[in-house]
């Protein structure tokens, strides 16, 4: 197994290398960027059948406290008190001026809250939570996290855990997968139907190998994970959202429930409520460049006269739509669907238009 004194590994690192993965540093971990199938093949396979992703670098946390939901609401704009048992919700940690410290998934697991945060932010997020919830917050470093995504995900997981088939999008169940106690959510970050499976680290390889034994399942790396989430119009923290963006600017207002919009009570509420009521000077949009040349992160966005109106935050080739796709922030006057803009690629302005997100139709099971 590849060793690095600086990089952490996951319980699946040896398996990745045996499967021929190209390993790269990512968020302090040694992670597979692609397997022999290649990024394009992995992307298409996930859309057509099912892909298995190692996301064990993400932070998994448990919060045990009677008032956990109420206290968590003082840190996020999401409606956590209204989250029923067995349900999960996407939200953000916001700062005092309404910027986004990180985005996260919160699950009501019945007797506790189960939280998943981004790998690069997990230490800061854990400290942030403990500042409000104290020792009720427990890190779960002895658990791995697998994401099984794609139209065949249900059949592949149900072969090992039949009750998984009855789950719907954004729900949670504790269940045995091939005899191993796991925490399963019907969720993911590809725009496809699928699951995220929290499994004891000691059993992660066995569960991964059982899933990979299904004829429709292939191992998928970070490269295809990124192109899949971009086609799905999903934000990547540190790129599409950060402390310089608010949830409203980021087109994430849908994640703020009506009660929270009205009552506030979270960091940056005054700004966010004002933006919901009166709009913002800029907003995240989808972009479809003409031709075949992709616009990458950092590319300037201009109007037809060459005046700067924003920047691309994520961009690349979309294999499913068979063309370049991007997301970025533009001034509010250019956020309408089909608005014509220019993307400056290698110093040359390329025609593009604002497009509705997501770029692909989601396959979630409702």
Close Cβ partners of 333 (under 8 Å, ≥ 6 residues apart): 309
Asked if residue 86 lies in contact with residue 152, where contact means CB atoms within 8 angstroms, the answer is no
pLDDT the model gives residue 6: 87
Q: Using CB atoms within 10 A of its CB, is residue 281 exposed (0-12), middle (13-18) or buried (19+)? A: exposed
**What confidence tens digit (pLDDT) does each residue in 119-162 have?**
999 999 999 999 999 999 999 999 999 999 999 999 999 999 99
What mean pLDDT is reported for the chain? 97
For residue 5, what pLDDT band results from cuts at 50, 70 and 90?
A: low
Alpha-carbon separation of residue 233 from 79, 128, 145, 225, 228 (angstroms) = 22, 28, 23, 12, 9
Domains of the chain: 1-279 (3.30.1360.120), 281-366 (2.40.30.110)
Q: What are phi and psi of 152, to 5 degrees?
A: -95, 5
Q: Using CB atoms within 10 A of its CB, is residue 278 exposed (0-12), middle (13-18) or buried (19+)? A: exposed
Interval 304-328 mean pLDDT: 98
Asked if residue 57 lies in contact with residue 26, where contact means CB atoms within 8 angstroms, the answer is yes
Asked if residue 68 lies in contact with residue 113, where contact means CB atoms within 8 angstroms, the answer is yes
- Which helix (H) or strand (E) segment holds residue 278: the answer is helix 269-278
Find how far residue 297's CA is from the centre of its chain.
17
Q: What are phi and psi of 34, to 5 degrees?
A: -160, 160
| Helix ranges restricted to H, 65-174 | 68-72, 122-133, 153-158
User: At residue 313, does pLDDT exceed 70?
Assistant: yes
Asked if residue 344 lies in contact with residue 328, where contact means CB atoms within 8 angstroms, the answer is no
Asked if residue 160 lies in contact with residue 58, where contact means CB atoms within 8 angstroms, the answer is no
For residue 4, what pLDDT band results from cuts at 50, 70 and 90?
A: low
User: At residue 3, does pLDDT exceed 80?
Assistant: no
Q: Which of 132, 122, 121, 118 lies closest to 65 in space, CA to CA?
A: 132
Q: In a 3-state reduction of DSSP, which class is residue 209? A: helix
Q: Count H helices and E strands in the chain, helices first.
A: 9, 19
**What confidence tens digit (pLDDT) does each residue in 233-274 have?**
999 999 999 999 999 999 999 999 999 999 999 999 999 999
**Structure token pair of residue 136:** 């009720």
Q: In a 3-state reduction of DSSP, which class is residue 196? A: strand
For residue 293, the 8-state DSSP code is P
User: At residue 294, does pLDDT exceed 90?
Assistant: yes
Cα(235)–Cα(62) distance, rounded to whole angstroms?
24
**What confidence tens digit (pLDDT) does each residue in 77-112 have?**
999 999 999 999 999 999 999 999 999 999 999 999
User: At residue 227, does pLDDT exceed 70?
Assistant: yes
Angle between helices 38-48 and 222-231 (to 10 degrees): 50
Alpha-carbon separation of residue 352 from 177, 232, 297, 309, 310 (angstroms) = 46, 19, 15, 13, 13
The sheet carrying 137-139 orders its strands as 88-94, 100-108, 113-117, 59-63, 137-139
Interval 202-222 mean pLDDT: 98
Cα(69)–Cα(180) distance, rounded to whole angstroms?
29
Interval 30-43 mean pLDDT: 98
């Amino acid at each position: 197994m590849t060793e690095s004194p600086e990089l952490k590994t996951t319980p699946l690192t040896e398996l990745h290398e045996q499967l021929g993965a190209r390993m790269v540093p990512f968020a302090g971990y040694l992670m597979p960027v692609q397997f022999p199938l290649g990024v394009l093949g992995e992307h298409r396979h996930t859309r057509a059948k099912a892909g298995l992703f190692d996301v064990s670098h993400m932070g998994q946390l448990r919060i045990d406290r009677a008032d956990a939901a109420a206290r968590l609401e003082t840190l996020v704009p999401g409606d956590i008190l209204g989250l029923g048992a067995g349900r999960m919700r996407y939200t953000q940690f916001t700062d005092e001026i309404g910027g986004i410290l990180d985005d996260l998934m919160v699950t009501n697991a019945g007797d506790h809250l189960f939280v998943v945060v981004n790998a690069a932010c997990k230490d800061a997020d854990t400290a942030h939570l403990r500042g409000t919830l104290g020792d009720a917050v427990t890190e779960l470093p002895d658990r791995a996290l697998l994401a099984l995504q794609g139209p065949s995900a249900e059949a592949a997981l149900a072969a090992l855990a039949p009750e998984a088939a009855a789950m719907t999008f954004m729900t949670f169940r504790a269940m045995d997968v091939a005899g191993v106690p796991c925490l399963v959510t019907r969720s993911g970050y590809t725009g496809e139907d699928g699951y995220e499976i929290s499994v004891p680290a000691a059993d992660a390889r066995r569960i991964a190998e059982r899933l990979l034994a299904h004829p429709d399942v292939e191992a998928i790396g970070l490269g295809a994970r990124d192109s899949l989430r971009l086609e799905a119009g999903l934000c990547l923290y540190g790129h599409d959202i950060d402390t310089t963006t608010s949830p409203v600017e980021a087109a994430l207002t849908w994640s703020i429930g009506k009660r929270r919009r009205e009552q506030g009570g979270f960091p940056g509420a005054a700004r966010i409520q004002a933006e919901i009521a009166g709009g913002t000077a800029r907003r995240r949009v989808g972009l479809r460049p003409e031709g075949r040349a992709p616009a990458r992160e950092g590319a300037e966005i201009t109007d037809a006269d060459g005046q700067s109106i924003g920047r691309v935050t994520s961009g690349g080739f979309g294999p499913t739509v068979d063309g370049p796709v991007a997301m970025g922030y533009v001034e509010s006057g250019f956020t309408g669907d089909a608005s014509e803009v220019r993307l400056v690629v290698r110093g040359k302005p390329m025609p593009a238009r604002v497009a509705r997100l997501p770029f692909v139709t989601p396959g979630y099971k409702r």
